[in-house]
Amino acid sequence: MEYRFDIANQVLIFVVLSLSLNLLIGYAGQVSLAHAAIAGIGGYAAAKLAIANGMDFVPSLVLATLMAAAAGAFLSVPALRLTVQHLILLTLAAAVVLVTIANSTRDLGGAYGLVGMPVPSIFGKSLAKPSQFFWFLLCVSAICALLYWRLADSPYGRVLRALREDELAARAVGKNVFVYKVQVFALASAMAGLMGALWAYYLRLASPVQFNVTQSLLLVTMVIFGGMGSLLGPVVGAALIVVSSPILEKNLDIGAEKAALIRLVIYGAALVVLMRLRPEGLIPEHFSFRRALARLGLPLPGAGAAAGQQSPPPAAGAADPAAPAGPGQPDAGIDIAARTPVVTVEGLRKAFGGIVAVDGVDLALRERVVTGLVGPNGAGKTTLFNLLTGVIPPDGGTIRLKGKDITGMTPDAIARLGMARSFQDVRLFLRMTVLENVMLAYSRHPGEHLPLLLGAPLATSRAERRARELALECLSFVGLVDKAGMLAGGLSFGEQKLVAIARLLATGADVLLLDEPISGVDPQWVDRVALVIRALPAQGKTVCVVEHNLYALGQLADHCYFMESGRITAEGSLQELMADPRLIAAYFGA
Amino acid sequence: MGTQGSDGIVLQLERVRAGYGGRPVVFDVSLQLRRGSVVALLGHNGAGKSTTLRAIVGLARVHAGAVLLDGRDIANRPCEENIRDGLVYLPQERAVFGELSVRDNLLLGAQVVKDRQAREQRLERVLTLFPVLRERWAQPARTLSGGQQRMLSVGIALMAGAKVLLLDEPSLGLAPAVAQSLMNTIRELVKSEGLSVLIVEQNLRLALDLAQYLYILRMGQLVLEGPPQELEEQHQLWQLF
C-alpha cells in the first residue's frame, strides 16, 4: 500500500510542476529550461532552513516558496527582451549555473546534497510515511491546481496567450507585457519552489540530481506530451510519464538502473511518434470533449463550406465598388479648422541609418474627424503610425494626445491613454478564437489583474460578460459573429482584416489609427467597412486612416494629408488633393 | 467547359476538393487556363480563392480531383517540384526573407533559372517595374516599408521565369500607380512570353481589365464563369459574390 502512495506522491509533485511550467511555456510562450532548478531553490532553501536553522515545516515551505518566486522574477527581467531561442539558452545557462553551484558548495552538501532533513509534521502529526504525506500533498496540490485553473482559464490566461502569440499586438491593445511576464515567471516559480521544498521534505534530502537539467527537460517533455497550453494536458503528460517508470520496473523485472535507461528510449520514441501524429500533444489546446464526440458521427457533406459561411453581406450601396475612384463626399460642410485637435504632432523626425523615414512632420488629428493619410509606398505612413503609438521612439519632435505629451511612451501606455491602432499585416492572435481576439481588447478588465482576478470573482465574471457582449457587438459590426468560435488563424486574410477592425473598436479608444483597413477586403465589404469607419465620429471617435483605395477613402475622409518621402506635402479634402496634377503624378504616375 | 477551347490548355483543375488537414475548403472546383491568357478567380473573403491557388501549387491538400499541368496530374506534388516545372505562386502575405538583402531576395527567386542572361534580363525588368528596389538594393528586406516588401515579393515571383503564374492579390497594399504598372508588366509578359496567369484580386477593376475569363467562387464552390464583358452585361458583378 505504501508503495502506491509513494507513486501517487511522485505523480502529484510532477503534475503540479508541469502545470506551473505549462503556465510559462504553454500559456505565456516563455520556454524555460530552468524549471527544475527553480524548484531546486525551493528544495535547498527548505532543507537549509530545516537543518541549519531548525525551522518548522510550514514556515520553511512558505519561505522556500517566496525565495523561488523571487528567483523566478529575477530570471524574468533579462527574459523580457529575449526571443524564444535566446530565452531557452538563458534559462539553460541559469539551470547549469545553479546546479553547478549546488554541486560545488560545501555548505550545500556538494554532490551528495543536504541530507538528514527532519521528519515533517503538521499539527503535531508526523508525515513520515508516504500515506501520511500523501493527504497533505494532495491538499497543497489541489490548492495549486485551483490557482493554476483560475489563472489559466480566465481573462488573465487570455492575456498570457496573447503574449505568446504576438507581443506587439498585445501591447497595442494596452496590455503591459512587462508586468505580465514578471508575474507569470514569479507565480510559476513559486509553485515550482513549493513543490521542490515538498519533494526535499518527502525524500528528506535536497541533492543536485533531483533538480538538474535532465529533470527540467523531463518537465518540458511532460508538458509537450500532454499538450502545451491545454488546461488538463500536463496532468495527463506528467501522470503517464511518472507512472510508466515503476510499471516498467515491476513488469519487466529489470531493476531500477536498466529501467531508467529503457525509459529514456521509450520517452524519446514516444515523443517522436507523438510529434508526427499529434504535434499539439495528447490533449490539444482547443480540445473539446463535446466536439470530439460530435466528430465520431459522420461529417456532413459540405460542412467545411458551411463553416466558412459569411454573414449575409449588407445591402451594397448604390455605388459601384468596381468603379474607379469617384469619391462620394463624406459629411459635407464640416468646418475642420473649428474642431479641437486631439492629437498634435510637431517636427516629428525618424531616420533609419541613412534613410529619413519621417522628416519633420507636423499634423493634427481633430476631434470627431476622419483624417486620411495618402501617399506612395515607402512615404513613411506606417512609420508615422509606429511613432504615434510608441512602437519606435522618434529622433525628434513631440506628440501630444489630448494635450498630454506622449512622446517616448510605451505602446501599451499610449493605448491605455486612448489611442489605438491596427496593423497593415493584421497581427491577430492566430491560435486564439475570433471572439477571444476581440474580447482581449476590452480595457480595464478586472480579470486581467492578478489581485482582482483572485479577490473579486464576481466583478470579474460581470466584466467578462460585458467583454463578451461588447466583442460580439463589434464582430456583428463587421459581420463576423458567426465566426466568433473559429480560430483566427483559420480565417482568410480579408476576414482577418475585419476582425482586426472589430478588435480595434473594442479597445474603446477615442483615437483610432487604421493602417490599410480595406486592402484585401472584398469589394462588397469595402462599402461595409467604410460605413463602419464613417460611423465612428458620431460615437465621439477621432480617426486616421492610411489607405490606397481612394474610392473608399473618398467615402471616409473629411480631411487628408498627402505624404511623400517622409514629409507632409499637401493637405485638404481628397478631391482637392486629387485635383493637383503634381500629386496625381506622384501617386498615380500619370 | 465554358467558351474556352480544349487546345493549348496549360493548367486544368478537374473537380478538385481541397483544404487543410482533413477539412475541405473548396469543393468540386474545375477550371482551365490556356497558354498566354489571364484568368481571374473572384469571390468574397473566405470563399476559398487562396486555398485553390495553394492546392494547385502544393501548399494545401487536394482531397479529390485532379490538377493537370500540361496534362500531367500534379495534385499533392511537392511545391518545389512544381516551381521547377514553371508553376510559380505569389502568396498573399508578404513573403520576403527579412534578413537578406533586396538583391539576394530577388536572386533567390531566380534560383531555378540556369541561364545567366535570362536572369539578368528578368532582374532588369523587375527593377524597371519597381525602381525603389534598385535604390534599396543592398538593404535587408525587413527595412523596407510594407508596400515595398510587397513589391519585392511580386519581384521574387517574377524572377522565377514562370510558365504559369499564380498571383494572390498582387495589388495588395500597392499605391495605385504601382499597381497599374504591375498589371501592365503582367500583360506584357503574357503577350511576349506566352505566360499564363491565374490571378486572385480584390481590386475588381484591375482584374476585369486584365483577365480574359472569370471564375467566381462562393463558399468553396464555383458559381459562375465566363468572359468579363459577358458577365458584366448579365449581372452586376459585385453582387455575384
**Contact in structure between A196 and A39 (CB atoms under 8 Å):** yes
Q: Which of B45, B146, B205 sits opposite A494 (nearest CB)?
A: B45
Residue with the bigger pLDDT between A252 and A376: it is: A376
pLDDT value of position A589: 67
Q: What are phi and psi of A366, to 5 degrees?
A: -95, 155
Q: Which of A495, A515, A519 sits opposite B46 (nearest CB)?
A: A495
Residue B99, domain member (yes or no)? yes
The percentage of residues in chain A with a pLDDT greater than 70, rounded to a whole number, is: 93
- Quick one: pLDDT band at residue A420, thresholds 50, 70, 90? very high
CA-CA distance, B228 to B217, in Å (whole number)? 15
CA-CA distance, A67 to A244, in Å (whole number)? 32
Of the listed ranges A47-51, A393-397, B88-92, the least confidently predicted one is B88-92
Q: Which residues contact A63 (CB under 8 A, 6 or more apart)?
A: A45, A46, A49, A55
C-alpha cell at A389: 503609438
Pairing type for strands A419-421 and A511-515 reads parallel
Tell me the three state secondary structure of residue B80: helix
Contact A375 B132 (CB under 8 A): no
Residues 220-239 of B with CB under 8 A from A: 220-221, 236-239
Residue B186, domain member (yes or no)? yes
The percentage of residues in chain B with a pLDDT greater than 90, rounded to a whole number, is: 53
Contact B172 A519 (CB under 8 A): yes
- Quick one: pLDDT band at residue A314, thresholds 50, 70, 90? very low
Give me the DSSP letters along B116-179: HHHHHHHHHHHHHH-HHHHHTTTSBGGGS-HHHHHHHHHHHHHHT--SEEEEE-TTTT--HHHH
Question: Which residues of chain A lie closer than 8 angstroms to B92, CB-CB?
Answer: 493, 520
pLDDT value of position A555: 87
- Digit-coded pLDDT (tens) for A196-232: 999 999 999 999 999 999 999 999 999 999 999 998 9
Contact A587 B46 (CB under 8 A): no
The DSSP symbol for A23 reads I
Question: Which residues of chain B lie closer than 8 angstroms to A497, CB-CB?
Answer: 45
Of the listed ranges A285-289, A296-300, A340-344, A534-538, the least confidently predicted one is A296-300
- Average pLDDT, stretch A96-102? 96
**What value of ipTM does the predicted structure carry?**
0.83
**Contact in structure between A363 and A570 (CB atoms under 8 Å):** no
The percentage of residues in chain B with a pLDDT greater than 70, rounded to a whole number, is: 94
CA-CA distance, B153 to A30, in Å (whole number)? 32
Question: Which residues of chain A lie closer than 8 angstroms to B93, CB-CB?
Answer: 425, 493
For residue B198, is pLDDT > 90?
Answer: yes
Distance (Å) from the C-alpha of residue A286 to the closest C-alpha of chain B?
16
From residue A61, give the alpha-carbon distance in Å to each of A53, A73, A133, A547.
13, 18, 14, 59
- Looking at A392-492, list the stretches that DSSP marks H as alpha helix, in order from N- to C-terminal side: 411-416, 434-439, 450-455, 457-477
Of the listed ranges A74-78, A189-193, B65-69, the least confidently predicted one is A74-78
pLDDT value of position A144: 97
Beta bridge partners of B168: B200
Rounded to 10°, the helix A493-506/A457-477 angle is 130
Contact A587 B176 (CB under 8 A): yes
- Average pLDDT, stretch A288-315? 50
Q: B205 to chain A: nearest residue by CA?
A: A322
CA-CA distance, A50 to A59, in Å (whole number)? 10
Length of chain A equals: 590
Instruction: List the single best residue of A392, A519, A547 to mutate versus B (max B Cβ within 10 A).
Output: A519
From residue A530, give the alpha-carbon distance in Å to each of A147, A270, A334, B239.
45, 53, 18, 17
Burial class (CB in 10 A: 0-12, 13-18, 19+), B95: middle
C-alpha cell at A443: 480595457
CA-CA distance, A380 to A303, in Å (whole number)? 45
State the residue for C-alpha cell 523626425.
A349
Closest by CA position to A16, among listed B202, A8, A106? A8
CA-CA distance, B147 to B151, in Å (whole number)? 6
Q: Which residues contact B36 (CB under 8 A, 6 or more apart)?
A: B8, B190, B191, B194, B195, B196
- Looking at A299-400, list the stretches that DSSP marks H as alpha helix, in order from N- to C-terminal side: 303-307, 381-388
Tell me the three state secondary structure of residue A364: strand
Instruction: List the single best residue of A529, A548, A562 to mutate versus B (max B Cβ within 10 A).
Output: A548
Burial class (CB in 10 A: 0-12, 13-18, 19+), A318: exposed
Question: Which residues of chain B lie closer than 8 angstroms to A498, CB-CB?
Answer: 45
Element at A289 (helix H, strand E): helix A289-296
CA-CA distance, B196 to A482, in Å (whole number)? 38
Q: Which residues contact B64 (CB under 8 A, 6 or more apart)?
A: B15, B16, B17
For residue A118, is pLDDT > 70?
Answer: yes
pLDDT value of position A303: 38
Residue with the bigger pLDDT between A354 and A509: it is: A509
pLDDT value of position B114: 81
Which amino acid does the sequence have at A443? S
Contact A321 B204 (CB under 8 A): yes
- Average pLDDT, stretch A152-170? 95
Question: Which residues of chain A lie closer than 8 angstroms to B43, CB-CB?
Answer: 522
For residue A298, is pLDDT > 60?
Answer: no
- Quick one: pLDDT band at residue A492, thresholds 50, 70, 90? confident
Q: What is the CATH number of domain A339-588?
A: 3.40.50.300
Handedness of CA A361, A363, A365, A371 (dihedral sign): negative
Tell me the three state secondary structure of residue A296: helix
Beta bridge partners of B101: B140
Which amino acid does the sequence have at A332? A
CA-CA distance, B13 to B11, in Å (whole number)? 7
pLDDT value of position A520: 82
Residues 38-97 of B with CB under 8 A from A: 43-50, 92-94
Q: What are phi and psi of A546, to 5 degrees?
A: -95, 125
Beta bridge partners of B166: B89, B198
pLDDT value of position A281: 86
Question: Which residues of chain B lie closer than 8 angstroms to A304, CB-CB?
Answer: 19, 23-25, 27, 220
Q: How many domains does chain B have?
A: 1
pLDDT value of position A310: 41
Residue B96's domain comprises 9-225
For residue A113, is pLDDT > 90?
Answer: yes
Q: Which of A307, A383, A522 sits opposite B45 (nearest CB)?
A: A522
For residue A324, is pLDDT > 70?
Answer: no
Q: Which of B45, B143, B238 sits opposite A521 (nearest CB)?
A: B45
Of the listed ranges A327-341, A399-413, A458-472, B26-40, the least confidently predicted one is A327-341
- Quick one: pLDDT band at residue A302, thresholds 50, 70, 90? very low
- Digit-coded pLDDT (tens) for A232-285: 999 999 999 999 888 877 777 777 777 778 877 888 888 888 888 888 888 888
CA-CA distance, A520 to A191, in Å (whole number)? 46
Question: Which residues of chain A lie closer than 8 angstroms to B219, CB-CB?
Answer: 305-306, 308-310
Question: Taking the CB of residue A584, how many other CB atoms lie within 10 A of it?
Answer: 15
How is chain A split into domains, by residue range?
A: 2-212, 339-588
pLDDT value of position B95: 84
For residue A23, is pLDDT > 70?
Answer: yes
Residues 98-157 of B with CB under 8 A from A: 132, 143-148, 150-151
C-alpha cell at A15: 503534475
Closest by CA position to B88, among listed B11, B9, B160, B139? B160
Residue B25, domain member (yes or no)? yes
Contact B175 A519 (CB under 8 A): no
C-alpha cell at B55: 492546392
pTM of the model: 0.87
Q: Which of A305, A307, A379 sits opposite B221 (nearest CB)?
A: A305
User: A-B interface: how many C-beta pairs under 8 angstroms?
Assistant: 145
pLDDT value of position B229: 87
Contact B180 A424 (CB under 8 A): no
Q: Please report, for the domain that includes residue B82, its CATH number.
A: 3.40.50.300
Contact B177 A321 (CB under 8 A): no
